Amino acid sequence: MKILEKQILSDDRGTRVIRMKIFSKDIPLKAKAGQFIVLMANEYGERIPLTIVDKGEQDITIIFQEAGLTTKLLGKLNVGDSLYALVGPLGHPTEIENYGKVILVAGGVGIAEIYPVAKSMREAGNRVVIVLGARTKGLLILENELKNVSDEFYITTDDGSYVRKGFTTDILAELLKKDKYDLVYAVGPIPMMQKVAQVAQDFKVKTVVSLNALMVDGTGMCGCCRVSVAGQTKFSCVDGPEFDAAQLNWEELAKRNKIYSEQEKHICRLNIK
């Protein structure tokens, strides 16, 4: 669990996105696109889920945004330091097959999460169209890496500071108007995924979303990550994290993800250095 490499991918007024390569003998043997790990940065820390973005023979790569306490603790670790705990691969892998033409939409740090999916979809023979959205140019990550695993590539920024001003869903609607696609896949902030689902539904294209539901154990025991899909309760960690967007109860998901927002604002009183 030693950190082998660390790279700052972006820094927006102190909120950084960091890539880390971590030593692991076992996880790379089984990890597939769409799966995640749960880690503890130190012995007093909480458990947080992060996507396995890439893997080598004896390492995995994670990319995370310093969003709050634990990701900031993680960001303080350096090459040579070790994580306290790491478990994975967790969750179902993405269903990779030759669908034909797929559009992958990613926003914010979801851009990192889309990388392994894009790579695997391309290897399976799909025509891969990627649409990335960032709030501003400085927050855009992995541009070249994703260009290299796509057949068509689009970028939008909310403030117009890079390429095209607007939202990923503007481009998605234009693409779906012009041509027929077989699958839309989205990962990013909940409002973005919900809008992607609405647009794709208008064109009757199947849409899969990868959810960032709150998770604790990641193995189906605590119930924290529960979501409603087609009126049934599912656990995002063991039944997902990917679900059919058309069947998802988006309002419930958005509400549940804000459940601890007050507590997240407080300074944690645990003895965390």
Distance CA 214, CA 226 (A): 9
Determine contact, residues 112/141, Cβ cutoff 8 Å: yes
Q: Does 225 bind ligand FES (CB under 6 A)?
A: yes
Q: Does 93 bind ligand FES (CB under 6 A)?
A: no
User: Residue 63's binding partner, choosing from ligand FES, ligand FAD, none, with beta-carbon cut-off 5 to 8 A by kind?
Assistant: ligand FAD
According to CB under 6 A, which one of 33, 60, 215, 245 is a site residue for ligand FAD? Answer: 215
CA distance 107 to 189: 7
Residue nearest to ligand FAD (CB): 68
* From candidates 99, 153, 220, 246, binder to ligand FES by CB under 6 A: 220
Token reading at 69: 């306490």
The stretch among 60-68, 132-140, 157-165, 212-220 that binds ligand FES (CB under 6 A) is 212-220
Rounded distance, CA 188 to CA 169, Å? 12
* Strand arrangement of the beta sheet that strand 3-12 belongs to: 3-12, 15-23, 59-65, 54-55
Only one of the segments 68-76, 129-137, 156-164, 246-254 lies at the binding site for ligand FAD (rule: CB under 6 A); that segment is 68-76
For residue 194, give both structure tokens: 């919900």
Nearer CB in complex with ligand FAD: 42/205: 42
Q: Is 85 in the site for ligand FES (CB under 6 A)?
A: no
- Coarse DSSP helix, strand, coil percentages of the chain, rounded to the nearest 5 percent: 30, 35, 40
CA angle 168/169/174 to nearest 5° reads 105
Among 103, 118, 212, 217, binds ligand FAD (CB under 6 A): 212
Minimum distance of ligand FES from residue 31's CB (angstroms):
18
Is residue 224 involved in binding ligand FES (CB under 6 A)?
Answer: yes
| Binding segment toward ligand FES, per CB under 6 A, in 60-68, 112-120, 231-239, 265-273 | 231-239
The Cα–Cα gap between 270 and 248 comes to 36
Residues 6+ apart with CB under 8 A from 172: 103, 105, 131, 184, 196, 199, 200
Residue 175 engages ligand FAD in binding (rule: CB under 6 A): no
Alpha-carbon distance of 124 to 134, in angstroms, equals 28
Contact with ligand FAD (CB under 6 A) among 9, 40, 41, 112 = 112
Binds ligand FAD (CB under 6 A): choice among 20, 33, 41, 48: 48
Q: Which residues contact 41 (CB under 8 A, 6 or more apart)?
A: 70, 73, 74, 77, 83, 84
Residue 216 as a binder of ligand FES (CB under 6 A): the answer is yes
Using rule CB under 6 A, residue 79 touches ligand FES: no
Contact with ligand FAD (CB under 6 A) among 67, 124, 230, 259: 67
User: For binding to ligand FAD (CB under 6 A), which residues are involved?
Assistant: 36, 48-51, 63-65, 67-71, 109, 112-113, 212-215, 241, 257, 261, 264
